[in-house]
């Protein structure tokens, strides 16, 4: 019995080391992923990063538009045509015209190597809008 244990001890040690290495790699991956999510949460850029967010008066989101697709930001008083959530009975926001009431710009610091002193970048813009669509009655 002892001879069998002595013969297979190196194999058991090798398998144990491989398992330990896999657990260490998985732990490192999860820790780096958690750090990245925490950094994104601090920046306030989780789901609407680099987007213009159109919101209704109650704070609910109508549409998100990536900033890189815009040639300019809307100004208060502009009329914009938004796709909303489509058409149907269970839809909260219909497609149509919306009046821009206010626009807020949210900037974050740039802390990269080679960035300028006090450099900031536009992270998100929020436009509060009012619907110009007539109320539909069935």
Whether the pLDDT of residue 29 is over 70: the answer is yes
pLDDT tens across 43-101, in order? Answer: 554 556 789 999 998 888 899 899 889 999 999 999 999 988 765 565 678 888 999 99
Instruction: Locate the DSSP E strands across 1-138.
Output: 51-55, 61-66, 79-82, 96-109, 120-131
Residue of 68, 66, 58, 65 whose CA lies nearest to 93: 58
For the segment 111-133, the average pLDDT, to the nearest whole number, is 87
Q: Which residue has the tokens 């929020």?
A: 126
Whole-structure pTM value: 0.59
For residues 43 and 51, give the distance between their C-alpha atoms in angstroms, rounded to a whole number.
14
Most distant CA atoms of the chain, gap in Å: 88
């Amino acid at each position: 019995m002892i001879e069998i244990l002595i013969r297979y001890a190196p194999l058991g040690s090798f398998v144990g080391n491989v398992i330990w290495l896999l657990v260490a790699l998985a732990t490192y991956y999860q820790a780096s992923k958690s750090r990245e999510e925490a950094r994104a949460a601090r920046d306030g850029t989780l789901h609407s990063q680099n987007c213009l967010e159109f919101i209704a008066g109650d704070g609910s989101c109508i549409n998100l538009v990536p900033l890189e697709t815009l040639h300019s930001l809307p100004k208060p008083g502009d009329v914009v045509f938004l796709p909303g959530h489509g058409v149907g009975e269970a839809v909260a926001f219909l497609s149509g015209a919306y009046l821009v009431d206010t626009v807020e710009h949210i900037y974050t610091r740039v802390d990269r190597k080679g960035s300028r002193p006090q450099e900031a970048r536009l992270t998100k813009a929020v436009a509060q809008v009012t619907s110009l669509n007539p109320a539909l009655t069935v």
